[in-house]
Homo-oligomer: A and B are copies of this chain.
Amino acid sequence: MKDPVEPFVGVDFGATNIRAGLVDGEGRILRRAHSGTYASEGKEKVISRIVKLVRDLGQNDRMEVGIACPGPVDGSKGIIFDPPNLPGWKKVHLKEELQDELGTRVSVENDANMVTYGEWMFGAGKGVRNLLCLTLGSGVGSGLVLNGSLYTGANGFAAELGHTIVELKGPQCRCGARGCLESLVGAKSIVAEVESAIASGHETILTQGSGEMTVSRISSAAAKGDSFSVKILEKAGFYVGVAVSNAVALLDVEMVVVGGGISKAGPLIIDPIRKAISSNLISFSLRALKVVRSQLGDDAGILGISAYSRVSGALK
């Protein structure tokens, strides 16, 4: 068993960023390191970048390392199975590869689950027994705490809210199905919808300014009262709310935590989510469901993997 006061290295890596932090036992980040992922340069380069960041933080072979990465992941073996976000990562034994390289115990877990664990231990969900946590970004990540434990399912593939179907004849999703929540509200879909509406002449202040269209620009425009952008957020919130209603009908959680880029729009996205839930969820009035914004932002994954690996390491 690990000395509980020994610092721990948490790494949260996705299609775009690798974020690492040296975390103490109380969930404080003592030091940080960051790099782009540049996933297109291939798996070996990405793994070298992770190793470099971990060493930059002063990691030594007494310091354990936890990696939060895109799923599907088999956490018990530390294998990544071909995530839609990381083309070419077919059955990568990341745990083994990093253990050999770093000379210490490494754990590898699904990033959406680790964000959930972080928000539950240190953030918006502290003390809540049953919660659903969403990360609305280029993908839609989600995680579940049920009966006071992180719930990962029979194969570790649980909590794929982004790949539940909301609109049967909706857009093709990269998972193979049509009309999944991610195909409707993933950042790419929202941006594509906005660009096509602009091309067909919709009036919006988004046509002013230059540079790449992003969800963050759309949120800022909505905050300035741009009615086109407000409607885009309302539509996204409606779809998220329907998917969340379905999840709550099944799981009767007490809290839904909403994070990721679009959540920075605050009530402009949270209110439409709440509205769709209240009109679609059975027995809504008998529940006291809370829908709140995440509190930890980009630190949730680093804090989550550190705390979770500490606990699961101590149990081994």
A contact set with B: CB distance below 8 Å? 72, 81, 129-130, 144, 146-147, 149, 151-161, 163-168, 175-177, 180, 242, 245-247, 249-254, 279-283, 286-287
- Interface contacts beyond A144-B250, A154-B287, A250-B251: sample of 12 additional A-B pairs, CB < 8 Å, sorted by A: A81-B283, A153-B253, A155-B286, A155-B287, A156-B252, A160-B249, A161-B249, A164-B246, A164-B250, A165-B280, A175-B283, A180-B282
Task: Give Cα A286 to B155, complex, Å.
Answer: 9
Task: Specify which chain B residues have a CB less than 8 angstroms from the CB of A247 in the assembled complex.
Answer: 250
For A168, the closest partner residue in chain B by CB is B167
Task: Specify which chain B residues have a CB less than 8 angstroms from the CB of A280 in the assembled complex.
Answer: 165, 177
Contact between chains at B246 and A157 (CB < 8 Å)? no
Q: How many copies does the complex hold?
A: 2
Task: Specify which chain B residues have a CB less than 8 angstroms from the CB of A152 in the assembled complex.
Answer: 252
Min CB gap A251→B, angstroms: 6
For A238, the closest partner residue in chain B by CB is B168
Contact between chains at A283 and B72 (CB < 8 Å)? yes
Contact between chains at B158 and A129 (CB < 8 Å)? no
Task: Specify which chain B residues have a CB less than 8 angstroms from the CB of A151 in the assembled complex.
Answer: 146-147, 251
Task: Give Cα A304 to B251, complex, Å.
Answer: 20
Task: Give Cα A251 to B250, complex, Å.
Answer: 9
